[in-house]
């Protein structure tokens, strides 16, 4: 299980990419993230994987 609580990420230029993200990803489930270009999907996964350091959460 992956649990995300109050995740936030802000780029160095001050742009807020993620704000107050909460989610539970359970083993055995298939989950998807859908959103427009530039909405933070890749940033979310890079934070979950530890490639980017969250601003909070």
Q: Where are the alpha helices (DSSP H) in the chain?
A: 41-48
Beta bridge partners of 28: none
- Residue 33, in any domain of the structure: yes
The pLDDT tens digits of the residues spanning 7-42 come to 999 999 999 999 999 999 999 999 999 999 999 999
Task: Please indicate, yes or no, if residue 53 is contained in any of the structural domains.
Answer: no
| Total number of domains constituting the chain | 1
Are 8 and 57 in contact, with CB atoms under 8 Å apart? yes
Residue 42 lies in a domain: yes
Structural domain that includes position 42: 2-48
pLDDT at 57 over 90: no
Residues 26, 49: Cα–Cα separation, whole Å: 16
pTM: 0.85
């Amino acid at each position: 299980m992956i649990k995300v609580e109050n995740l936030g990420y802000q780029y160095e230029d001050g742009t807020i990419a993620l704000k107050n993200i909460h989610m539970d990803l359970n083993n055995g489930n298939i989950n998807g993230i859908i959103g427009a270009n530039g909405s933070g999907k890749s940033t979310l996964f890079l934070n979950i994987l530890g490639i980017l350091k969250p601003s909070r959460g």
